[in-house]
Every structure is written in C-alpha cells, then in structure tokens.
Amino acid sequence: MKKIIAIVLALATVFTFSATAFAAPSGRINKAQAKQIALDHAGFTENEVRFTKAKLDFDDGIFEYDIEFFVGRVEYDYTIAAADGRIIEFDIDGKEPAAPADIITKDEAKAIALGHAGVAESEARFAKVELDYDDGAYEYDVEFTANNTEYDYTVAAADGRIIKFETENKTPVTVPTDIITEADAKAIALRHAGLTESEVRFTKVELDYDDGAYEYDVEFTANNTEYDYTIAAADGRIIKFETENKTPVTVPTDIITEADAKAIALRHAGLTESEVRFTKVELDYDDGAYEYDIEFVAGNTEYDYTVNAANGKIVDFDREPVEHHFSLSVLVRWIKDFFAAIFG
C-alpha cells in the first residue's frame, strides 16, 4: 500500500512539473500586447486589419508570439518575444492585385492561340486556360493538343500579345517488328552469364527506347549476385552489363563484445556503469571495419564514443551538455525509471 501511495504521489509530482514546464512564464507580455506591438510597428489600428493568427509558441528555448494579419491584400507576419515584447522577425507579403476589368477574356485568349497555331477549335483539346499573375502583369496560360502536337501559349491579358509559345510533337513511336523478342534478350543475357533460367530469378525484362534505338534492360539474381544487362533490340548485341555481389557480410567472431566496448568507453570517461544511462550501444560496419557506437548520459553530460570492434581502440569520442527540452518522451522515461526504482 505504501508503494502505491508513493507511486501516485510521484506521478502527481511529475505531471505537476510537466504542466509547469509547458506553462508560459509569468510577468511577460500577453497576447493583446503582442498584437498591439505588431500593429504599432506596421502603422495600423486594430479596426484596419483582419487578424488570422495570434498564438503563443515555444521555439529554441524561448516563448514567442506568432502574429499574422491582413490589410487589404497584404499579409503581415510578426514573431514577438514574450519575455520583453521585442520583434524577433517580421515579413510583409504583397498579394496580387485584383484583375482589371479591361483585360481580354478567356475565349479571346484561346482564339489568339488557335489563330497563331493555325488550328480550328474543333480540332483542339484544351488542357488548360488559366489567368495568372506573373512579374507584375496578368497573362493567360493556354495549353491544348491537336494532331498529335502539344501547344503551350502565354498570352498577355492586357493586349492579347503572345509572350511565349512552345510546341511538342507527341506522335506515337511505332515499335519495329524486326527486333529480337523478350525471350531472345533473356536467353542472350543468361548465355553470357553462364546460367540457365531455372538458376535465376528475373527482376526486370523491359523494352526501352534510348538514344534513338530500342534496347532491352534485363536484370536477374543468382547465387547472391545481381546481373544487369542492356541488349540491343535490333541485333541482340550486349551493349553493357554489370554484376554486383550481394553475399551477406558475416560478422567476424574475433571482435570485442558489446560489454567490452561499454567498459572501454566508461573507463575513458572515468565513470562506472551505475553512474550512467546508456542510450545507444550498436555494432556498425563503416569504412571496411566493424565498430561500436556507444552513447550514454551522466548527470548533465552526454557522451558519444566510437570503438573499433577489432582491437578496442577509441576511434572517436565527444561529450556535450544535455539540452533540457521537456517532452512527452522525457516524461515517459522518468515514469519508467521511477517504476524500475520501486519494483527493481
């Protein structure tokens, strides 16, 4: 019963601390004051603007207000320190003006593009007719397809002038009938590799069109090896081939153990295992050698060691103060540590 009471009291203490940790500090400016600071800086009164955001955030270890508002089509964005009302950052983003009434219509922009292309509207399939605002002026982006050709026009909305146009031929490419088959390409690759179809697992057999010629891309695996062939579809010639050994790397048996690596790091740091909390102990393979990555915390210091697994030599180490950013993960860890201490 005493243990249960202790647990409840401890949890209450922890949650009380967490609530305090996340609460904004007292004696700081409030939201209304932050909004007024932004308004004063921008030179407006509250009835002249439309607020879209006024929020207290915690960023980089300090509380700050994020204030956003509109004046007409212009957006103002302020970041204000909650501690002293200092403006940390501000940005003004001008929105596009309303489209004038005397610009050409969508139908007129379409007609201008079609006339330039020499295409009748009945022959065209429009993909896009859109009014955009770019470089301080309104313009229509007109895209359509006709007779296997894609047309893309940019038309000035003020006077109908064609600012830019592009065409692209989309005539389907016909695959020739006198090329080798997929089965032929597979057989050519297998014969070159000295393998039979029953010994391999194909992962890709695909006809591609590259640099003006058709070619087969043939990929397969066998005996922990990947094979990649490029074969000319016109005559079966092997254009390119690659192999890559995929044999799993076996961890040697004559390396130091995880416990050895931990002991080496602790000895170098001048600490005992009971004084630290390990956060990472991992065997890695880097630059052709196995090594242990050891990380632990003692007090307010975090230690990071890289230990050569072959000879126990310390390859690299670093230590730095722990940054105390309270989070849910920290709370969970505290609770777990507390239960471990109570129940062993």
| Claim to verify: residue 9 and residue 60 sit in the same structural domain | yes
End residue of a domain, out of 48, 74, 94:
94
Q: What is the pLDDT of residue 301?
A: 87
The whole-number pLDDT of residue 249 equals 63
In a domain, 21, yes or no: yes
Residue 221 lies in a domain: yes
pLDDT band at 75 (very low <50, low <70, confident <90, very high): confident
**Band of pLDDT at residue 93, cut at 50, 70 and 90:** confident
Instruction: Tell me the per-residue pLDDT of 147-163, one tens digit each, with 9 for 90 and over.
Output: 889 999 999 999 999 99
pLDDT class for 312, splitting at 50, 70, 90?
very high
Which of 245, 270, 285 terminates a domain? The answer is 245
* Same domain assignment for residues 229 and 207: yes
Mean pLDDT of 312-323: 83
Cβ partners under 8 Å of residue 33, min gap 6: 85
Instruction: Indicate which CATH number applies to the domain containing 137.
Output: 3.10.450.40
Give domain status of residue 252, yes or no. Answer: no
Share of the chain above pLDDT 70, in %: 82
Residue 253 lies in a domain: no
pLDDT at 240 over 70: yes
Query: Do residues 114 and 85 both lie within one domain?
Result: no
CA–CA distance, 250 with 104 (Å, rounded to integer): 72
**50 or 152, which is more confident:** 152
Identity of the highest mean pLDDT range in 72-76, 93-97, 231-235:
231-235
The pLDDT of residue 252: 81
Q: Taking all residues of the chain, what is their mean pLDDT, rounded to a whole number? A: 84
pLDDT at 244: 86
276 and 326 fall within a common domain: yes
Flag whether pLDDT at 228 surpasses 70.
yes
Are 111 and 163 in a shared domain? yes
Provide the pLDDT for residue 18.
43
User: Which of 195, 223, 245 lies at the terminal end of a domain, its last residue?
Assistant: 245
> Of residues 325 and 164, which shows the higher confidence score?
164
Mark whether 12 and 76 lie in a shared domain.
Answer: yes
pLDDT band at 106 (very low <50, low <70, confident <90, very high): very high
Q: Which domain holds residue 336?
A: 258-343
Query: For the chain, how many structural domains are there in total?
Result: 4
Task: Label the pairing between strands 149-156 and 314-321.
Answer: unpaired
**Unique residue bearing structure tokens 């004046």:** 71
Residue type, 145: T
Tell me what the mean pLDDT of segment 37-64 comes to.
88
pLDDT at 23: 45
20 and 41 fall within a common domain: yes
How far lies 229's CA from each of 121, 209, 215, 220, 221, in Å? 48, 15, 10, 9, 12
User: What local confidence, expressed as pLDDT, does residue 339 receive?
Assistant: 66
pLDDT at 67 over 60: yes
Which pLDDT value is given to residue 20? 42
**Distance separating alpha carbons of residues 318 and 306, to the nearest angstrom:** 9
Report residue 52 as tokens.
């879209």
Which pLDDT score is estimated for 321? 79
Residue 292: the pLDDT is 93
Report d(CA 154, CA 162) in Å as an integer: 6
The predicted structure's pLDDT at residue 15: 45
Shared domain for 267 and 294, answered yes or no, is yes
pLDDT of residue 327: 47
Confidence band of 344 (pLDDT split at 50, 70, 90) = low
Same domain for 111 and 83, yes or no, is no
Q: Is residue 160 part of a domain?
A: yes
191 with 237, same domain: the answer is yes
Residues 128 and 71 reside in one and the same domain: no
Looking at the structure, tell me whether residues 147 and 230 fall in a common domain.
Answer: no
Whether 303 is covered by a domain: the verdict is yes
Q: Looking at residue 269, what is its pLDDT?
A: 92
Question: Which amino acid is residue 88, in one-letter code?
Answer: I
Q: Which secondary-structure segment (H or E) carries 263? A: helix 258-269
Residue 89 located in a structural domain:
yes
pTM: 0.32
Has residue 177 been placed in a domain? no
